[in-house]
Amino acid sequence: MTNSNKPRLRFFETAANQQHIPAADKYLYKIDQPNHKLVVIGTGTIGQEHMRVAATLGRASVHGIYDTSAQSLDAAERGFKKYSQDSLIRYTDIESACSDSAADAIFICTPNYSHFDVLQVALKSGKPIFLEKPMATALVDAAQIVEQARNYSAFIQIGLQYRYKAQYIEAFHEALSRKSLGNIKTISMSEYRPPFLDKVGQWNKFNEYSGGTLVEKCCHYFDLINLLAESSPQRVYASGGQAVNFLDFEKDGRKSDIDDHGFVTIDYANGVRASFTLNMFCPDFYEELVVTGDAGRFVAIEKVAIHQQKAVEASVSVCLGEQGASRTTDLSYPAVIEQSGHHGASYYEHNAFLDQLEGKPVDSATPEQGLWAMIVASAAQQSIVSGLPVDIKEFITQHDLAAALNE
């Protein structure tokens, strides 16, 4: 999925026994020059991943970077030199990063609580913008972003990249395109994983700065569930809390209040029922999606045994009983792509962004889809606190979201 129809033979391009090929004779080995220049704002973990993915894809180069932390900038530059010979502009302020006329697009990869304010500066550029998930920490800000996007001269893509994971691409294909499962009735999604990692300033240990665990971490999954349900959520109920992680953590005299587990149920307008399970004190990473219709069941599993330092293992199963052939398949993207970040999902997310930049049709996450994922997550957070189910129509009215949703 590059900007050329010819295949990339990456392991031959760099192989020691193939370096005798002169430039004039490189056809399969020829690497196209990047067509676009990106500015990355925020050079922490995810910002550095986007820099690495851009270099791996090769359709755009990283032109410049900005962060309020000099240590983050230094780390990003050191890492970048390991896989790219390009020089980086290191901006001294966010205004110059966004207004650089040499850049074609802006990637916002800053902490959650800063997304809205950084976006307001970036919007002045008129350039295409990639905004990491969650699009905001407050629904009022997310709604404003949706309305701003409608009147924006370019486009805003939200970083909900789990829709590009190999197993979920297969889920969309089987459930929505082939309709192998018949009419979908239930969707079950679960994630088991270790705790939140350390961040600069430890912002992800506090609801105020992260938006809450179900917003910060799980908007990806609610996006997937919404896409598979093909309907609008009507009712959300959740139970969860903080059982294990960061019980003794304090920052500047303030105790962590982030949830580390939860159970969420969602009722959709078309009768689909969904559930989501989160556990963030598990030794390893495990994701599972089960979609069941009136003709069959689809199961997607992803496992990462981090203590054994094993690569990601992903598989899908289609179980049709007497309705047709059942099968189980192992899935992977090429290793160089999977290793670039989020098991290859970020690579194909970048590809979609650049396709959109070039005027091609894409299926990337829109601000409105980002808002719907936040609505489900925020309603679930509210339900955990109140112990009561949340009616989504009332929730939309309560938070003045109707205009943003065109309802």
Q: Going from the N-terminus, what domains does the chain have, and what CATH number goes with each?
A: 10-161 (3.40.50.720), 163-334+365-398 (3.30.360.10)
Task: Check: CB of residue 286 under 8 Å from CB of residue 191.
Answer: yes
Question: At a CB cut-off of 8 Å and minimum separation 6, what does 291 contact?
Answer: 171, 175, 181, 184, 186, 187, 188, 228, 297, 298
Q: How far apart are CA 354 and CA 51, in angstroms?
A: 14
Task: Tell me the percentage of the chain whose pLDDT exceeds 70.
Answer: 99
> Based on C-alpha coordinates, what's the Rg of the chain?
22
pLDDT over 90, % of the chain: 94
CB-based contact 218:126 (threshold 8 Å): no
Q: Is 89 helix (H, G, I), strand (E, B) or coil?
A: strand
Cα of 204 vs its chain's centroid, Å? 16
Q: What is the mean pLDDT of the chain?
A: 96
- Tokens 């936040």, residue located: 374
Q: Cα–Cα distance between 131 and 37 in angstroms, integer?
A: 16
Quote the pLDDT of residue 7: 74
Please determine, for residue 338, whether its predicted confidence score (pLDDT) is greater than 80: yes
What CA–CA distance (Å, rounded) separates 232 from 323?
Answer: 29
Average pLDDT score over residue span 381-406: 97
Amino acid (1-letter code) at residue 390: V
HSE of 39, CA atoms in CB hemisphere, 13 A: 25
Name 241's bridge partners: 261
**Picking from 27-41, 263-277, 380-394, which range would have the lowest pLDDT averaged per residue?**
27-41
pLDDT higher than 70, residue 1: no
Query: Is the preceding omega at residue 111 within 30 degrees of 0, hence cis?
Result: no
- DSSP lists the bridge partners of residue 238 as 264
Neighbours of 386 (CB within 10 A): 10
Q: What pLDDT does 64 receive?
A: 98
Is the pLDDT reported for residue 3 higher than 60? no
Residue 235: C-alpha distances to residues 135, 208, 293 (Å)? 22, 25, 21
Paired sense of beta strands 327-331 and 273-279, if any: unpaired
Cβ-based neighbours of 69, under 8 Å, separated by 6 or more: 43, 44, 200
Cα 356 to Cα 6, 179, 204, 365: the distances in Å are 21, 27, 31, 11
pLDDT tens digits along 42-58:
999 999 999 999 999 99
Would you state the pLDDT for residue 11? 87
Sign of CA dihedral 120, 101, 78, 60: positive
Contact 128, 149 (CB under 8 A): no
80-98 mean pLDDT: 96
pLDDT at res. 5: 60
Q: How many CB atoms lie within 10 A of CB 169?
A: 17
Please tell me the least confidently modeled range out of 23-27, 113-117, 373-377: 23-27
Number of CB atoms found within 10 A of residue 172's CB: 16
Distance of alpha carbon 375 from alpha carbon 382, whole angstroms: 10
pLDDT at position 2 over 50? no
As a whole number, mean pLDDT of residues 143-151 equals 97
- Model pTM score: 0.95
Q: Which residues pair with 237 in a beta bridge?
A: 265
- Residue 93's nearest CA partner among 41, 49, 47, 43 is 41
322 vs 2, higher pLDDT:
322
* Degrees, nearest 5: CA angle 356-361-365: 65
**Rounded to whole angstroms, how far apart are CA atoms 179 and 173?**
8
pLDDT at 6: 66
Where are the extended beta strands (E) located within 308-387?
Answer: 313-319, 327-331
Q: Transcribe 251-268 into DSSP letters.
A: ETTEE-----EEEEEEEE
**Closest-CA residue to 46 (of 127, 138, 121, 130):** 130
Q: Which of 167, 153, 35 is nearest to 104 (CA)?
A: 35
Dump pLDDT digits (tens) for 99-139. Answer: 999 999 999 999 999 999 999 999 999 999 999 999 999 99
